[in-house]
Structure 1
Amino acid sequence: MADIKAIDIPKWGLSMEEGLVNAWLIEEGDSFTKGQLICEIETSKITNELEAPFDGVLRKIVGIPGQTLPVGAVIGVSADASTTDAEIEQFLAARGATAPAQEPAPSPVAEPEAPATPTATPAAKVVVAAKPAPTGSTVVPSVLQGTTQSDVFASPRALRRAEALGIDLAAVVGTGPLGRISVRDIDDAIRDAGGTVATAAPATRSGLPLRSTADDSAVPATPVARRTARSLGVNLHDCRPTGSRGRVCVADVHDAARSAQLLPEAAAQTGTIAVEPEYDTIPFTPMRSAIAGRLQASKQQAPHFRLTADLELDALLALRKEINSTVPAVKLSVNDFIVKACAAALMKVPDVNVQFDAANESVLRFASADVSVAVALPTGLITPIVRGANTKSLADISGEVLSLATKAKTGKLRPEEFQGGTFTVSNLGMFGIKAFDAIINPPQGAILAVGAGEKRAVVVGDSVSVRTVMTVTLSCDHRVIDGALGATFLRELQRFVASPALMLV
């Protein structure tokens, strides 16, 4: 057999079991070199671009975009031009994989024509309904015209369409994973800016609309409109979209049904048609599914208890202001100080710096504080880790948190940068949240929920003074951390925050 090589779903991290093929960055027949980015794969935590493991030519795409496959499954085949398609199919069969079937063209529907006279021959003449021809042309408004830069995050099809139409994708808002721009986003942007997109219009015969028979599964429509169209026998290609973002809504389906005389006569005359409330169905992404599974298991298996404490921030804020004003290259945030203070407190109370090994019913106590920092993404939540935070300076922690957050938001985190950790900090203070409870990130034993710092009246001795106070809530797994132990940790945390110079020595 000729030299044929498989491109497989990689294993990025110990917990990875499957991957979703998001998009191919090359096409069948394209040559590639080792290390070239060839495919985008989404896991339960990150979206990464797969580097080619060798030089070759992509002869066959097996994993189609939108398909979820287990680790090690074949998603593509590389072979030279002398390799026949039969040899590739034989190779796939040996690997237990199959190439994606070609989508069959929709079968034309025969429509009998009425006989011209009562004495006409019984054999009916057949007229084939033609597919509606595109009408109009795409007109791109001047605000979208330009040249797309190479660093724009868009699908290969979107890049080709932008190049063909002369569109600068910097002016287009992406709605895909992590803000990725799709062809639909380009069309929506053209319509929103006052332009037009070429569409297919139904043909007419004898003054009545000719009902389309083409597959309408890809026509943008609301879920309710799609169900209504199915129940009334309306093809979505026959509907004029007037809904948001160019989608077909229920009213559009009813208009098309009236034109085609598909509605019951009484309902058409009185307009008494039951209308379901509009809503969108948003399927779980792999990341959202993983979050749901892990946190549900945490709530069900880990007996949570919570301890709340107030931290006085005035000394910390003064030190932060002094450092930021005297060291131009450093811009510390309050969260950087909290991460450092937690790491210092974990070293003072090491029995909180733990993971619970459920399989062996044992506690793993760590010598170094690996603090996870919760980062919100459009598709969910991820917790990149500041390794050895107890040994790092505030400047080092600040730079690492910024770098990890940027990687998280662009889907570039490596598995070792978000898997593990001994403690988590979740901060919602920037949203004005005063206090909240957080769910423990297993197998860790505790998580700190951080609220906003605010001016409060505080009794000091026999007088009242104004202090900047932050409320924090420690959620603990009672299987490994008891109340007194959690309270001891919070007391140490209060000490480091009230006297931040202790974190510098």
Structure 2
Amino acid sequence: MAKLLRMPEVAANAVEAVLQGWSIAENAPFAADEVIATVETEKAVVDVPAEAAGVLLKTLVPEGAGVEVGAPIALLGDPGEKVADLGALLAELGLAVPPHVTAPERRDVPDAAAQTGAPAVNGVVRRVFASPLARRMAGEAGIPYEKIVGTGPNGRIVRRDVEAAIASANTPAAPVAAGLSWTKASASFTDVPHSRLRRAVASRLTASKQDTPHFYLRGTARVDRLLKLRRRLNDGGQVRISVNDLVIKAAAQAHTLVPAMNVIWTPEAIRSYSTVDLSVAIATERGLVTPVLRSVERMTVSSVATTVRDFADRAKAGRLRQEELEGGTFSVTNLGMFGTEEFAAIINPPQAAILAVGAARTEPVVDGGKVRAGTVMRVTLSVDHRPVDGAVAAEWMRTFLSLVENPLRILA
């Protein structure tokens, strides 16, 4: 029996997601747990698997469309099922008018273009095909993808078409009539439309500063031993270890030794965790994401390095899963690779703290009453004062700095 596939709530409290692409063609069979579609939230890409074997009778929304959670996106049937009157079946299921039917199935529908985002010609909706990557690139550039001429198979819009459109739009002689004047610009400025991820990051961090009472602790650590340990670990090792990997392990160890930091604030209680789940900040062209490493206290340094590298690669490709972006009590963000000596970061709610890590620099230090050259690293801890008192944060900072300066303890 045919049934509707609805947009799932792929993220907590999400009200909308983008149908990025269909993995199954119409009238094609699929197996249980096979991916039917891929949807995109503000920060992640999520595959939608089939609950049971069947056939995809009809897609109800085009690729690239924003869809409310719970809205129908496809009509599924039992294995081998065929439908003689699609319109009647959809009406029976509560859809009086199919939201998305390609020509020549649907004619004389005045609002069809508005529902599909495609232009109508002589009363017939012309469906515009574009790859998910092309749709995302066009959306982030503020380009109406329906106005781009596709050069892919069957006129499909692909990456090179969007790149060509962007280049054309940035050319001073580009005609307005071509429909490519989508960014607001003048001789002194250019407006680049916000991406979904940029809007999500802005909203979350604004709420954090408004609702979370931040306080800050700063510390400086001698990292000569840490750098020496890193060189030894990388000498012939199969996995390259970064300073940040060791910092993540030291932070997790500090959480184990100071469990009062491994908490978050909820409206009803302070929630304490038995495992240490830490986020790592990763910058991408689309914006900042913070995937979570689970049970870091049980991970080796090499497994931390491997996981962080995997997160970074998939973040840049927009392939992080939603569940990888949720949870955690603490974040580590590092701008040291850019030469930044010291900075303070905004807490990623509902986490309780974030550690901002600066560059390791050679400076004069006092050692045994004598001034000599040493390598130091400055860190700033931003803390939510609701679940964590100043004394607890200070104890955590002292513990963390001790671990960094005596890095063999990190490996214990």
TM normalised by structure 1 equals: 0.65
Return the match for 2:194 from 283, 294, 309: 283
Query: Secondary structure of the equivalent of 1:430?
Result: helix
Q: Which moved more, 1:19-28 or 1:98-107?
A: 98-107
SS in 1 for 2:94: helix
Q: How does 1:121-270 map to 2 (within 5 A)?
A: 161-162=151-152, 183=157, 185-187=159-161, 245-247=167-169, 252-253=174-175
TM-superposition CA deviations, 1:60-105 (whole Å, max 9, x none): 32223343223222111134333312323313426x8851354374
For each residue in 1:81-136, what CA deviation from the matched residue of structure 2 results, as whole angstroms up to 9, or x when unmatched? 33312323313426x8851354374579xxxxxxxxxxxxxxxxxxxxxxxxxxxx
Q: Following the alignment from structure 1 to structure 2, what is the Cα–Cα distance between the partners of residues 483 and 97?
A: 60
Q: Tell whether the 8 Å contact from 1:74 to 1:97 is kept in structure 2 after alignment.
A: no
8 Å CA contact retained: 1:92, 1:98: no
- Bigger RCO (CA 8 Å, 6+ sep): 2
Equivalent residues of 2:195, 2:286 under 8 A apart: no
Q: Which amino acid aligns with 1:283?
A: H
- Alignment pair present for 1:50 and 2:41: no
Aligned-residue offset at 1:299? 0.2
**Distance in 1 between residues matched to 2:76 and 2:27, nearest whole Å:** 9
The answer to whether residue 374 in structure 2 is matched with residue 467 in structure 1 is yes
Once superposed, what is the RMSD of the aligned Cα atoms? 3.3
Structure 2 alignment gaps of length 5 or more: 101-110, 114-118, 124-131, 136-144, 179-185
Aligned residue among 320, 336, 342 for 1:435: 342
1:42 shift after superposition: 0.7
The answer to whether residue 253 in structure 2 is matched with residue 344 in structure 1 is yes
The answer as to 2:87 corresponding to 1:89 is no
Contact 1:188 1:246 in 2 (8 A): no
**C-alpha distance in 2 between matches for 1:391 and 1:252:** 57
C-alpha separation between the residues in 1 aligned to 2:160 and 2:318?
A: 22
- CA offsets, 1:130-161, max 9 Å, x none? xxxxxxxxxxxxxxxxxxxxxx9777x99x94
Who is 1:303 aligned against?
Answer: 213
Structure 2 distance, partners of 1:343, 1:248, is 47
Q: CA deviation at 1:51?
A: 2.8
Residues 377/255 of structure 1: CA separation in 2 closer, same or farther (3 Å cut): closer
2:356 corresponds to 1:446? no
Aligned to 1:60: 58
| Aligned 8 A contact 2:344 2:356 in 1 | yes
Q: Is 2:10 the partner of 1:9?
A: no
Q: Distance in 2 between matches of 1:336 and 1:32?
A: 41
- 2:80 pairs with 1:73: no
Contact 2:45 2:321 in 1 (8 A): no
Answer yes or no: is the 8 Å Cα contact 2:134–2:162 preserved in 1: no
Q: Does the aligned pair in 2 maintain the 1:438–1:447 contact within 8 Å?
A: yes
Q: Distance in 2 between matches of 1:322 and 1:419?
A: 34
> How far apart, in 1, do the equivalents of 2:284 and 2:333 lie?
13
Give per-residue Cα distances to partners, 1:162-204, cap 9 Å, x unaligned.
Answer: 4579xxxxxxxxxxxxxxxx82632366x6xxxxxxxxxxxxx
Residues 480, 49 of structure 1: alpha-carbon distance in 2 compared, 3 angstrom cutoff: closer
Aligned to 2:129: none
Q: Residue 499 in 1 paired to residue 406 in 2?
A: yes
Equivalents in 2 of 1:184, 1:245: separation in Å?
15
For residue 39 of structure 1, the aligned residue among 37, 40, 59 is 37
Identity fraction in percent: 35
Closer, same or farther in 2 for the Cα pair 1:251/1:36, shift >3 Å? Answer: same
The 3-state SS of whatever aligns with 1:93 is coil
SS at match of 1:330: coil
TM-score (norm 2): 0.79
In the alignment, the residues of structure 2 paired with residue 183 and residue 254 of structure 1 have an alpha-carbon distance, to the nearest angstrom, of 21
Give the counterpart letter for 1:38 in structure 2: I
Alpha-carbon distance in structure 2 between the residues aligned to 1:98 and 1:389? 49
Contact 1:60 1:99 survives alignment (8 Å): no
Deviation at 1:291, TM superposition (A): 1.9
How far apart, CA to CA, are the structure 2 residues paired with 1:356 and 1:294?
16
- More deviation in 82-91 or 298-307? 82-91
Give the residue type in structure 2 aligned to 1:320. R
**CA contact under 8 A between 1:92 and 1:99: conserved in structure 2?**
no
**Secondary structure at the residue paired with 2:256?**
helix
SS in structure 1 opposite 2:235? helix
Task: Measure, in 1, the Cα distance between the counterparts of 2:162 and 2:72.
Answer: 35
One-letter code of the match for 1:343?
A
